Structure 1
Amino acid sequence: MEAGIDEAGRGPVIGPMVIAIVAVDDQGKLRALGVRDSKKLSPGRRRYLFGEVIRLASCAKHVLVPPGEIDRYVVANQLNELEMEKMIELIQSCNADVVYVDSPDPKPERFGNRLEAATGRRVIAMNEADALIPVVSAASIVAKVIRDGEIDKLKKQYGDFGSGYPSDPRTTSFLASWVKEHGTLPPIVRRTWKTVDRLLGGMDKYLT
């Protein structure tokens, strides 16, 4: 049994990060489906493959990491540590002999060794594993589709804020307009992101 782990939403200033694990008994089945890094798939294709991956997987689980929890780790410069902790939970929740991980650490062997020590499983951590290992591609699809669903829910509650990424003008416009109207940031925002500092310079009182 082989499993893969990947995340979606590490970089956005709005919304949760989602980390997912998928385990299968034959990666060839995933390869035959045409799984790829979720970023290289259209939304419609991702949703289709999501259903197929869930059907084939012996285990498919995810965790949602809200903005407030992300901020607490970023303040301590421990975002990779946060991912480590969540990945340990996921690995322990699925039966797999080998776990492939898309490593957030530029030294993936170091990251993988720590996961092995914590879980007792064989872990192979790689950079860009979502583009190389089918079961990690499958996990990236699950994470991305789940996050997209969460973002859709937030938009129904807060209005259209675009992609939620700092480079999106709709996102920065939403943040500026929200603060102007409400005098504070909504709880869906990661307050430790540099985007917030740049956009709201001189408005530190709203970040406490």
Structure 2
Amino acid sequence: MLNCWCLQMDIYKEALENFGSSNGNDLTAYSKVSEICKKKACYVGIDEAGRGPVLGPMVYGIFACVADEEAIAEKTKSGVSLNKIEENPPILLNISSKSFRRQKVSLNEVSHDAAIELIQGLLDRGVRIGKVYVDTVGPMEKYQKKLEEVFPELKFKVDKKADSKYKPVSAASVFAKVARDSALANWKFPAGIDVFVGNKGWGSGYPGDDVTKTFLRKNIDPIFGFPNIVRDSWSTASALLEKRASKVKWDDEEDEIPAAKITKFFSKSNGNDTKDAILTQPKSQFFSYRCLQQTTHL
């Protein structure tokens, strides 16, 4: 039996309120850590939500609980079993804004960095980690090796479809998805920004959703592009920008004056000096304009 604790919604409320007040900034929210998780080894799951959509943030969740490894490895179709007791399990949520950058970013790198930050967050709060289960992002062996190099004292299991195999990962997946859905549904736009939202809202946020497509077409400004809920670097958004936004021609910057070679600062000895070379300074325009020149070397 997997012994986990029921999660109160305080962490969601805090995380979403803070993220909503400053969309565009990364945010990590932490729940309280129960004393038992500081005394007994916990099994940890990590998963993400929001990799595919063109709208909204990416969210990463980590979940820790006390259980035996055999129970964790049991495949289950019924999802995560949570026992209602007073204390909360350690939950950390990372809401990432990196996907909103205009330049394309490596989602695998973003995911790896988020996982490392979340694991370190548990360790910093005194959680005893027995083993970490992670849903793979990219090649499994390479990802697991990377985590083992960062945390050599911990055990890892990076696996495909880990959310359907390991209950802590299932829990982390649920928490991340709920947080992302809530962030998307309650998105706050900057003051003064007029955004068209139809009766069906902006849809699921996935590029293939007709409602999402309509939202994108109705909310593209020819100068400023999309509102801040849209991931500009996604192909769906960038294609619309190429088609409907105004073209801008930037003047080429003038080439910088190349730096002088180091040899120009030295001249050969004139025979009167005992040194093989003497240091010379390039003549300033101040002296050139006044026909002045240096007659002795200091």
Normalising to structure 1: TM-score of the pair? Answer: 0.78
2:108 to 69, 73, 80: 80
Q: Kindly state the Cα deviation for residue 152 of structure 1 after the two structures are TM-superposed.
A: 1.1
Letter in 2 for 1:174: F
Q: Are the aligned partners of 1:73 and 1:82 in contact in 2 as well (CA < 8 Å)?
A: no
1:22 aligned partner = 63
Aligned with 1:140: secondary structure? helix
Using CA pairs under 8 Å that are at least 6 residues apart, name the structure with larger relative contact order, 1 or 2.
1
How far apart in 2 are the matches of 1:118 and 1:148? 31
Aligned with 2:115: secondary structure? helix
Give the direction of change, closer, same or farther, for the CA distance of 1:172–1:33 in structure 2 (3 Å limit).
closer
Residue 35 of structure 1 pairs with residue 79 of structure 2: yes
Letter in 1 for 2:135: D
2:96 aligned partner = 65
How far apart in 2 are the matches of 1:145 and 1:126? 23
Give the direction of change, closer, same or farther, for the CA distance of 1:138–1:18 in structure 2 (3 Å limit).
same
- The higher radius of gyration belongs to 2
How far apart in 2 are the matches of 1:12 and 1:174? 13
1:149 aligned partner = 182
2:34 aligned partner = none
Aligned with 1:97: secondary structure? strand
Give the direction of change, closer, same or farther, for the CA distance of 1:111–1:64 in structure 2 (3 Å limit).
same
2:142 aligned partner = 110
How far apart in 1 are the matches of 2:176 and 2:229? 18
- Percent of matched pairs sharing the same residue: 33
Letter in 2 for 1:149: S
* Structure 1 residues 186-201: aligned runs within 5 Å: 186-201=227-242
Aligned with 1:179: secondary structure? coil
* Structure 1 residues 151-166: aligned runs within 5 Å: 151-154=184-187, 159=197, 160-166=201-207
* More helix as a share of residues: 1
Q: Deviation per CA, 1:46-94: give whole Å up to 9, x if none.
A: xxx8x8699775311110012xx12549625x22111111100101112
Aligned with 1:124: secondary structure? strand
How far apart in 1 are the matches of 2:85 and 2:208? 32
2:130 aligned partner = 97
How far apart in 2 are the matches of 1:85 and 1:171? 29
Between Structure 1 and Structure 2, how many residues are aligned?
190
Q: Are the aligned partners of 1:20 and 1:140 in contact in 2 as well (CA < 8 Å)?
A: yes
Aligned with 2:243: secondary structure? coil
Aligned with 2:132: secondary structure? strand
Give the direction of change, closer, same or farther, for the CA distance of 1:19–1:200 in structure 2 (3 Å limit).
same
Q: Superposition RMSD on alpha carbons, in Å? A: 3.3
